[in-house]
Amino acid sequence: MTLLDDIRPARGSSCVVPPEAAADLVPRIPADAHKYSRGVCELYVGSKDYPGAAVLSSCAANKLACGYVIAYTTSRARAALRAQSPSIVVRDHASFAEVRHEDGPRRPRAVVVGCGFPSSTARDGLLRELSRACAQGVPSVSERPAAACSPESIARVLERSDCPVLLDGGALDAMGSGDVRALLEKRTGRTTAVITPHLGEAARIAQAMRLDGDLAPVALSQAIAEATSTICMLKGSDVWISTPEGSTYIVDAGTWALAKAGTGDVLAGAVGSLLAYGIMPLEAAVLGAHIHACAGRMAGEGLAFGPTAEDVLDRLPQAAGRFMRRTS
Ligand SMILES: NC(=O)C1=CN([C@@H]2O[C@H](COP(=O)(O)OP(=O)(O)OC[C@H]3O[C@@H](n4cnc5c(N)ncnc54)[C@H](OP(=O)(O)O)[C@@H]3O)[C@@H](O)[C@H]2O)[C@@H](O)CC1
Ligand SMILES: Nc1ncnc2c1ncn2[C@@H]1O[C@H](COP(=O)(O)OP(=O)(O)O)[C@@H](O)[C@H]1O
């Protein structure tokens, strides 16, 4: 039984989640909390071409509920993160697959993967670039563009992560792999994966899985959630959040101001943080979408052309606080 059960739509239908219902999901941090009890969020993000997505997603995770953020990323993103947010622990991209992820209280409680990994469209170009680079001398492992986002790499992330996993950006191309879908199907309850496609990524997933890509957003989100056994957060002017059981929750609190590069990376990190704190995947998706929408509205207040993703990122803590005040 969860708080959202009160408004759960019947299989195949949808409902709008009012901000009041989302506010009920905001956890109160206990007075005796410590950084590990609040949860470790690990992010395997960024690439040579998109270090910024690693910075935005990791900083977003650090601004919400979890107590400890570890970013596995490329050298440029590590340098940027050290400068912008020294409280985030940074490690080499390649070491994600090598390190023994801590057991006990220090174990990751959520993993975010794929923000800033090139999509299949972008990857075709990068692969050509890689072949050219290889002809001139092999690039360092951590900078190899295609390695991190291959279906095999995403499958390894799923196999190694006994915790909720959120897949975004280039990691979403792995939905086309039967092996990856088999691993996702084994995940239930707390470890159910969350995926965060925008409409373009959703169309690519639908094509790879032979679903009808022309469906309206609610039906498309439901079809993808059921076919991939995930909580699908389909991102557009609203966020359509569907469960593998076939219900869709709509967060319609956003603003055109969020239509700006990088705001999706902020959303991924924010939801990852809530998952790492221990909030169940559906609830984390709904609450994260509401906090993100509220941060977008706050950041856009009085601006003719809206804020940047960095502005939205900066408003996340206050946006979460607004939800708490709404209930008290
Ligand atoms: N600073 C950084 O490091 C940043 C890094 N980023 C990272 O870049 C990576 C690639 O992600 P991406 O979204 O930029 O490109 P991609 O996956 O190829 O899809 C784009 C194509 O999809 C289509 N499309 C249709 N509807 C759409 C919609 N509603 N919203 C968006 N697109 C829509 C449209 O095609 P069209 O329909 O026009 O043919 C469009 O050409 C990813 O890992 C991300 O994390 C970004 O976050 C930015 C900041
Ligand atoms: N017109 C809009 N109204 C409300 N929210 C929007 C609008 N356009 C985009 N968004 C939100 O902005 C975010 C964009 O995510 P995404 O396309 O993945 O961006 P990026 O990959 O550049 O980070 C999503 O959360 C989406 O719901």
What is the pLDDT at residue 7? 87
Q: Flag whether pLDDT at 143 surpasses 60.
A: no
Domain hosting residue 136, numbered range: 14-325
pLDDT band at 324 (very low <50, low <70, confident <90, very high): confident
Domain total in the chain: 1
Was 265 annotated as part of a binding site? yes
pLDDT band at 117 (very low <50, low <70, confident <90, very high): very high
Please write the tens of the pLDDT for every residue from 184-210: 999 999 999 999 999 999 999 999 999
What is the pLDDT at residue 107? 78
CA 285 / ligand 2 centre spacing (Å): 15
Asked, for residue 7, whether it belongs to a domain, the answer is no
pLDDT band at 94 (very low <50, low <70, confident <90, very high): confident
* DSSP conformation class of 103: -
Q: Is the CB of 50 under 6 A from ligand 1?
A: yes
Mean pLDDT confidence for 172-191: 96
Calculate the average pLDDT of the chain: 90
CATH at 33: 3.40.1190.20
pLDDT band at 129 (very low <50, low <70, confident <90, very high): low
Give one word for 149, left, alpha or beta, with left for phi > 0 and alpha for psi -120 to 50.
alpha
Asked, for residue 41, whether it belongs to a domain, the answer is yes
What is the pLDDT at residue 327? 44
Mean pLDDT confidence for 150-177: 94
Please write the tens of the pLDDT for every residue from 274-287: 999 999 999 999 99
What is the pLDDT at residue 96? 85
Please write the tens of the pLDDT for every residue from 231-259: 999 999 999 999 999 999 999 999 999 99
Was 198 annotated as part of a binding site? yes
Q: How far apart are CA 77 and CA 194, in angstroms?
A: 24
For atom 8 of ligand 1, the residue with the nearest CA is 116
Q: Is the CB of 49 under 6 A from ligand 1?
A: no
Q: Is the CB of 77 under 6 A from ligand 1?
A: no
What is the pLDDT at residue 99? 66
What is the pLDDT at residue 140? 47
User: Measuring from each residue's beta carbon to the nearest atom of ligand 2, which residues come in under 6 Å?
Assistant: 198, 235-237, 239, 254-256, 258-259, 261-265, 267
Q: Is the CB of 173 under 6 A from ligand 1?
A: no
pLDDT band at 130 (very low <50, low <70, confident <90, very high): low
pTM for this one? 0.93
By DSSP bridging, strand 108-113 and strand 165-167 are: parallel
Mean pLDDT confidence for 67-73: 97
Q: How far apart are CA 46 and CA 240, in angstroms?
A: 25
Of 163, 176, 177, give the one whose Cα is nearest residue 112. Answer: 163
Q: Flag whether pLDDT at 24 surpasses 60.
A: yes
The proportion of the chain whose per-residue pLDDT surpasses 90, expressed as a percent, equals 77
Mean pLDDT confidence for 12-32: 92
Q: How far apart are CA 59 and CA 87, in angstroms?
A: 10
Asked, for residue 1, whether it belongs to a domain, the answer is no
Exposure of 45 in the CB half-sphere (CA atoms within 13 A):
36
Asked, for residue 6, whether it belongs to a domain, the answer is no
Mean pLDDT confidence for 158-171: 94
Mean pLDDT confidence for 294-323: 96
Q: Flag whether pLDDT at 63 surpasses 60.
A: yes
CA 149 / ligand 2 centre spacing (Å): 22
According to the per-residue pLDDT averaged within each range, which of 20-34, 145-159, 229-243 is highest? 229-243
Asked, for residue 145, whether it belongs to a domain, the answer is yes
Q: How far apart are CA 277 and CA 320, in angstroms?
A: 14
Was 53 annotated as part of a binding site? yes
Asked, for residue 9, whether it belongs to a domain, the answer is no
Asked, for residue 164, whether it belongs to a domain, the answer is yes
Mean pLDDT confidence for 66-93: 97
**SS3 annotation, 18-77:** CHHHHHCCCCCCCCCCCCCCCCEEEEECCCCCCHHHHHHHHHHHHHCCCCEEEEEECHHH
Asked, for residue 208, whether it belongs to a domain, the answer is yes
